[in-house]
Amino acid sequence: MLTEKKISILVAEDENIIALDIAESIKRLGYKVSGIARTAAEAIDKAGSLKPDLILMDIMLDENSSGIEAAEKIRLLFDIPIIYLTALADKETIKKAKITEPFGYLLKPYEPRSLHSSIEMAVYKHNVYQKLKERTLELEEERLKSDRLLKNILPEVIIKELKENGFIKPRKYKSITILYTDFQGFTKIASQLAPQTLVAELNDIFKNFDAIIENYGLEKIKTIGDSYVVAGGLPLESQDHARKIVHASIDMQNFLKKRSAFSGIDWKMRVGINSGSAIAGVVGKKKFTYDIWGDTVNTAGLIEKLCKSGEINISETTYSLISDFFECEYHESVQILGKTGLKMYYVKNLKSRTI
């Protein structure tokens, strides 16, 4: 029984005799009378200071509709269930009262049995609503956590497509740019560091890389050991993906140089960049991965391996897209199976910061 909790009730009634009669009835039923209020202002004040479990509110306090106004303020400020006391059958007044979402109506003159059942039902309903509200908040919190986790794994437009359709359709892009990075001498450095130190170093570097690529609106695809893979021009296509990738690679190299001055570890990085077509999509059911495939991707990885430490190595395809904006130096042409030759350039200086 709910009465075992000694439910406390505030009586808001402007007629003194009726208020005292209600208070005595409440006590006889085994409830606690937390107080009596005779005006709307007093009802609001005592609702805040006494924090009753329930309020019995005269719908016409002070011979006007201030009982309804008081109930609206109490509902917004304190979330206390209210039962209206009324001798009226006025449809307009009842309509106004419904806006305040009361937990019941009790007609004057009331019967003790009706008073008892109204109180029990109002408190029960309010407890159920409170639990539902708490559960709704918990579910919303879980949804937000899931969304945050998904945003760390998949691009936002891909998440939207997944939610709307339940699946992701693979897509071929005619022109994107891929960036691969790799640290010179990583195996040797890793063997000399404690595991915690190595992970902390990589985490700090990649965290800053994440901020750089986010600044240029690029998409981090994955990290593979000490390799960091980025794409421009997907999932939303753009015309300036190559320029943004090169800008980001310059910022990444500059960050590493500044960091090496105080970190105690001289990280030196190779960068390989290539442009062309590729296929992108999501693989996995329990663990999603947004990935890219194709010759353009494989060639970017090869260009990175053919790069000198500290340099940014780009293919001829990428060079044709960014040569008006960056000073580049041709350095080598290599033979690749199935191709006549792969010309490569080192990015040297920025001609214009305009993106």
List, for residues 282-301, the tens digit of each pLDDT value. Answer: 877 766 777 889 999 999 99
CATH of the domain at 239: 3.30.70.1230
Residues 73, 168, single domain; the answer is no
Residue 10 lies in a domain: yes
Residue 205 lies in a domain: yes
Residues 168, 285, single domain; the answer is yes
Q: What gap in Å lies between CA 62 and CA 223, rounded to an integer?
A: 71
Residues 77, 187, single domain; the answer is no
Residue 148 lies in a domain: no
Residue 70 lies in a domain: yes
Residues 189, 305, single domain; the answer is yes
- Cα distances (angstroms) measured from residue 282 to each of 135, 161, 221: 32, 11, 11
Domain containing residue 115: 6-134
- In this prediction, the residues of the chain whose per-residue pLDDT falls under 50 are 1-3, 354
Q: So what's the pLDDT on residue 3?
A: 42
Residues 104, 165, single domain; the answer is no
Residues 180, 264, single domain; the answer is yes
Q: What gap in Å lies between CA 178 and CA 299, rounded to an integer?
A: 9
Residue 217 lies in a domain: yes
Query: Would the pTM count as exceeding 0.85?
Result: no
Q: How many domains is the chain built from?
A: 2
Residues 127, 163, single domain; the answer is no
Residue 1 lies in a domain: no
Residues 79, 202, single domain; the answer is no
Do residues 103 and 83 make contact, with C-beta atoms less than 8 angstroms apart? Answer: yes
Residues 70, 179, single domain; the answer is no
- Cα distances (angstroms) measured from residue 340 to each of 27, 186, 333: 98, 32, 10
Residues 159, 304, single domain; the answer is yes
Residue 141 lies in a domain: no
CATH of the domain at 78: 3.40.50.2300
Q: So what's the pLDDT on residue 1?
A: 41
Q: So what's the pLDDT on residue 84?
A: 82
Residues 170, 259, single domain; the answer is yes
Tell me how many degrees the CA angle 75-82-126 measures, rounded to the nearest 5. 80
